[in-house]
Structure 1
């Protein structure tokens, strides 16, 4: 059973994703994580406050099960099926330690300097997390979906708006990591 603990190669994982998308396409469904927030809010009665949430959420409850499975699967995988260590280039780990004082890079999945309870005592960290969350949420809503929805579902359905959104996601990521991240940290 070692195969389940090791990362799967692209030539196995890629066709499995394509097969899943084919099944969803045949079923008339679209994959995406950000749309589940709308479904969850509607299920909890948000339709009373905003017309955006007035729709038949029960028709989309399959997608809520997808999110629940992702959360449960992620918990099981990270706690019982891996050592939570990301193997990164030693030069990158050295640069993170030197330039940004992130000593745990390459030793844990989430660097403790950024994601520990002690890091949350810093108001700057909380502001960065709140602003980042708001920008991601706004961007996903404004783009009509999140990265997984556009990159996996939209592109597999050959949707031009998804291609434009994915190109925008990549450009935004490059700008963030090369221009904005060094200014913040």
Structure 2
């Protein structure tokens, strides 16, 4: 059984398991699946009630914080104890393309040449890590939720705003991966 857990699960196993969370949450208390709202709950728990955006009864959503904590704990357990420490499998064409940008290390989930504390203090690293994080946070707030909330929960409930948000998320991802990221990676800074 442990050997089964040490292998990456195929999309046709992991996808339905994630999808089954929607009816489980709806049946067990009319709860909605989404991760980005948990940050608001954490801020509401830690911030004074003087800020109107964080002034609500966050304790009713404590289940969401437990859910997110379980995701974090599961990721840590899998990363430290279950997954074998083999290099990430990357398509040979992508390896050739990334090599032109100086990315050759595939021993972790993210390229160490880009995502490390030394790279953070370069202009390229600042753009990718800080700028990217800001844009993801801004986009999530502007869209009223994240990809899990819209693409998994919203689409399964046939919500038009979730369809629009998911189309925008996907379009933005394609533009970033194919147009903007290669330009940033070519910068010699």
Same fold at TM > 0.5: yes
Q: Does 1:70 align with 2:63?
A: no
What CA distance in whole angstroms lies between the structure 2 residues aligned with 1:180 and 1:65? Answer: 36
Q: Cα distance, 1:84 vs. partner?
A: 5.7
Contact 2:115 2:125 in 1 (8 A): no
More helix by share: 1
Match of 2:126 in 1: 126
What CA distance in whole angstroms lies between the structure 2 residues aligned with 1:85 and 1:151? Answer: 30
Q: TM-score, with normalisation over the residues of structure 2?
A: 0.89
How many residues in Structure 1 have an aligned counterpart in Structure 2? 182
Contact 2:44 2:54 in 1 (8 A): yes
RCO higher in structure (CA 8 A, sep ≥6): 2
Contact 1:84 1:109 in 2 (8 A): no
Residues 1:93 and 1:81: Cα distance change in structure 2 (over 3 Å): same
Q: Cα distance, 1:24 vs. partner?
A: 0.6
Q: CA RMSD in A?
A: 1.6
Residue-by-residue CA offset, 1:98-131 (whole Å, 9 max, x unaligned): x210011x33322110122332332441243221
Match of 1:149 in 2: 149
Q: Cα distance, 1:133 vs. partner?
A: 1.3
Q: TM-score, with normalisation over the residues of structure 1?
A: 0.91
Match of 2:174 in 1: 174
Tell me, which stretches of 5 or more residues in structure 1 are unaligned? none
Match of 1:94 in 2: 96
Match of 1:42 in 2: 44
